[in-house]
Amino acid sequence: MAHHQLGELDEKILKLIIGNARMPFLEVARECNVSGAAIHQRIQKLTNLGVIKGSEFIVDNTKVGYETCAYMGLYLKTPGQFPSVTEALKQIPEVVECHYTTGQYDLFIKIYAKNNQHLLNIIHNKLQPLGLARTETLISFKEAFKRQIPIEIDYED
Amino acid sequence: MAHHQLGELDEKILKLIIGNARMPFLEVARECNVSGAAIHQRIQKLTNLGVIKGSEFIVDNTKVGYETCAYMGLYLKTPGQFPSVTEALKQIPEVVECHYTTGQYDLFIKIYAKNNQHLLNIIHNKLQPLGLARTETLISFKEAFKRQIPIEIDYED
DNA sequence: TGTGAAAAGACTGAAAG
DNA sequence: CTTTCAGTCTTTTCACA
């Protein structure tokens, strides 16, 4: 498996920092009973391995003017459209996630818009010109909760 | 609107830090041509206002053993189930997002599982006992991209 | 709100067990 | 893989504009 390089210390570090990217590494070190340099080097390693892909501040979308959150399922006309449509979606900043999916849809995306009218504008002016076969829209009117993946590493060695 | 307290400096700060929670505030200060203390106070203010809700490290799900990512639409039997089902979903760590939605479904959730079998186990053992009317599952077999909401504040005052 | 200064604390890399 | 150490940079607070 892809995560065979990770040990208990890595797991403990990830659990501590995954939900708080501003936690000082020295504090992590104290929690783990190792030196600060050890944490520094482990996090470096986790970053080099691609386990850690970056960090983010979590911003309340409604407080920066995005009242509408929607998911959309997209049907392509032909599978050949995958690369061009994905590239075009990347050019639309309001599209914040894009997945290739099995079953129902070909692509599944998440969009933030200022309001419902803005969402309609995005659909009409930016999505429809892409030449999709069909789309389906699902509007989230409240995010009940959102959190991180649970870190529970199996040591299969 | 909810974001009327935010000014140009707040916008600039948010744009700089939203995609890198480890950026030193002094570096933000230099980019913005203000003192470090000013950035410190602004970020404090943004946190107090709830604009900033926290920070996270972005971890590659496949590298910590979660190969399967799925979205599920849930139909309730009665609207009265909303609170209890939401609460029950919160007890399932693999459910990382939960939205109240209009139209098609009542609830819409995002799940990470170790593999497809594990996803089936979660559905059978944890979701079906909740007494839902029906569910629909959508499996993402590749996340083409994922990014942050664009920060573009209107100054309507 | 913003600033500068000062103390405390954190980061980072080198060298060594 | 871990530690200690040293130099440098950051965070945080506070008095003041």
For A74-94, what is each residue's pLDDT tens digit? 999 999 999 999 999 999 999
Contacts of A129 (CB under 8 A, 6+ apart): none
The phi, psi pair for A114, rounded to 5°, reads -65, -35
Given a cut of 70, is residue B146 above it in pLDDT?
Answer: yes
Residue B70: closest C-alpha in chain A: A101
Q: Which nucleotide is nearest to A30 (CA to C1')?
A: C10
Give tens-digit pLDDT for A94-118. 999 999 998 889 999 999 999 999 9
| Contact state of A18 with B56 under an 8 Å Cβ cutoff | yes
pLDDT exceeds 70 at position A157: no
pLDDT at position B142 is 96
In a mutational test of the B interface, the residue from A3, A57, A106 whose CB has the highest number of chain B CBs within 10 Å is A57
Q: Which of B131, B125, B130, B115 is nearest to B70 (CA)?
A: B115
> Which residue intervals of chain B are DSSP H helices?
8-17, 25-32, 36-48, 82-90, 116-122
Residue B16 predicted with pLDDT over 90: yes
The answer on pLDDT for A52 being more than 70 is yes
Mutation target vs A (from B14, B99, B140; most A CBs, 10 A cutoff): B99
Q: Which residues of A touch B108 (CB under 8 A)?
A: 71, 138, 140
The contacts of residue B140 (CB under 8 Å, 6+ apart) are: A99, A100, A101, A108, B69, B70, B71
Which chain B residue has the Cα nearest residue A90? B145
Q: What is the mean pLDDT of residues B103-128?
A: 96
Report the b/e string of B21-54 with b at 16+ CB within 10 A.
Answer: beeebeebbeebebeeebbeebbeebeeeebbee
B35 DSSP assignment: -
Residue-wise DSSP of chain A? -TTTT--HHHHHHHHHHTT-TTS-HHHHHHHHTS-HHHHHHHHHHHHHTTSEEEEEEEE-GGGGT--EEEEEEEE-SSGGGHHHHHHHHHT-TTEEEEEEESSS-SEEEEEEESSHHHHHHHIIIIIGGG--SEEEEEEEEEEEEE-PPP-------
Span A124-133, average pLDDT: 96
pLDDT at B42 over 60: yes
User: A15-44: per-residue pLDDT in tens?
Assistant: 999 999 999 999 999 999 999 999 999 999
Who wins on pLDDT, B7 or A3?
B7
Q: Could you give the angle at which helices A25-32 and A36-48 cross, rounded to 10 degrees?
A: 110
* CB < 8 Å to B66, chain A: 149
Taking an 8 Å cut-off on Cβ atoms, the answer to whether B138 and A101 are in contact is: yes
Contact A55 B22 (CB under 8 A): yes
Residues in A closer than 8 angstroms to B69, CB to CB, are 99
State the nearest Cα–Cα gap between A133 and chain B, in angstroms: 19
pLDDT band at B5 (very low <50, low <70, confident <90, very high): confident
What whole-number distance in Å separates Cα of residue A58 and Cα of residue A106?
A: 29
- B95 has a pLDDT exceeding 80: yes
The answer, as to whether pTM is greater than 0.85, is yes
Q: pLDDT category, B154, cuts 50, 70, 90?
A: confident
The pLDDT of residue A1 is 47
Of A6, A140, A150, the CB nearest to B99: A140
Residues whose beta carbon sits under 7 Å from strand C: A 24-27, 36-37, 40, 44; B 9, 34-38, 41-42, 45
Of the pLDDT bands very low, low, confident and very high (cuts 50, 70, 90), residue A128 is very high
- The mean of the pLDDT values for chain B is 95
Chain B, nearest residue to A142 by Cα: B100
